[in-house]
Amino acid sequence: MKVLWAPWRMEYILADKGQECFLCDLAGALPSEDNLLLYRDDLAMVVMNRYPYNNGHILVAPVAHTADLNELTQAEYSRTMELFRFSLKALERHMEPEGVNAGLNLGKTGGAGLEEHVHFHIVPRWHGDTNFMPVIANTRVIPEAIRETYRGLQPFFEKYGE
């Protein structure tokens, strides 16, 4: 048997999960390395994905708890999209990806893991970032610890709106 060592996962396994919606748990929080929240205001937020498809995988979401983009006010929608665009730029400057997967999954059948709170995914990609591990071992390799990525991105979000 092969072992993939991931001791940082124990913190999540043992943590109190709070509300069912982790995005709503962050709605009143301040950005910190502990909660992986990069930015939040009264309308929208940016958070690192705790289960990334790749290094730098972030989520951009409105603060409002809804599964329907049409339920957002114009201000909520605009801020979320502004942060989406800003997040792309921050990832490009910090990580220099060769491409990006970006979008949202709506509904369970659409692939949403958290279907009741709309959120956008941004996943930086590099040529050759896929390998045999997902196919042969059903394992994805993330080469940088999520907190290291957070520390690299956080300075960009501290300057948002300047």
| CATH classification of the domain holding 131 | 3.30.428.10
Burial class (CB within 10 angstroms; exposed 0-12, middle 13-18, buried 19+) of 153: buried
Q: Is residue 6 part of a domain?
A: no
Q: Is residue 147 part of a domain?
A: yes
Tokens 């919606």 map to which residue?
21
Q: Is residue 29 part of a domain?
A: yes
Q: Tell me the DSSP string of 39-73.
A: EE-SSEEEEE-SS-SSTT-EEEEESS--S-GGGS-
Q: Is residue 143 part of a domain?
A: yes
pTM above 0.85, yes or no: no
Q: Is residue 14 part of a domain?
A: no
Q: Is residue 15 part of a domain?
A: no
Query: How is residue 113 annotated by DSSP?
Result: S
Q: Is residue 68 part of a domain?
A: yes
Per-residue pLDDT of the chain (162 residues; tens, 9 = 90+): 566 666 766 766 666 655 579 999 999 999 999 999 999 999 999 999 988 878 899 999 999 999 999 999 999 999 999 999 999 999 999 999 999 999 998 888 888 888 899 999 999 998 876 655 555 556 566 667 889 999 999 999 998 876
Catalytic residue ranges? 119
Domain membership of residue 120 as a residue range = 20-158
